[in-house]
Amino acid sequence: MPAPQNPSAPDKRVHIPYPGNTNFPFSSAVIVASTVYLSGHLGLDPATHSIPNDIDSEIKLVMDNFRETIVRSGATMQDLVYVQVFCSDVTLFDRFNSIYLTYFKFPLPARAFLGSGTLLFGAHFEIQGIAVKNSDA
């Protein structure tokens, strides 16, 4: 797995690559000062690079993948200040929330839950966010 690019000065950007052998044309996250901008994450199984058929498994994977990038960025879930969730079927709102909430302590970050069209790889969910390291949220 490629290492994050280390800046030579505090005002430089640090790019966190996706783990594994993915050819995505973007960084998993970009850090500017103490702010972490997290790209959209899917519930891709790292072993198969596919979305599981079970909705609950997909939700857990999307949250695990998202959390892994946050940790690799030097932040925590509690440092999140804003989360955006895209969902191809908004009737899954309550189901998503029941698992999503297990990844947080209160207070929760601000969040949008948006109905979307078709998502990549047949995913039901894509999540992105902004964290501020050591925000004491």
Per-residue pLDDT reduced to its tens digit, 37-94: 999 999 998 888 899 999 999 999 999 999 999 999 999 999 999 999 999 999 999 9
Sign of CA dihedral 74, 36, 63, 94: positive
| pLDDT number for residue 4 | 52
Going along the chain from its start, the domains and CATH numbers come out as 13-132 (3.30.1330.40)
Question: Percent of the chain, pLDDT > 70?
Answer: 87
**Predicted structure pTM score:** 0.87
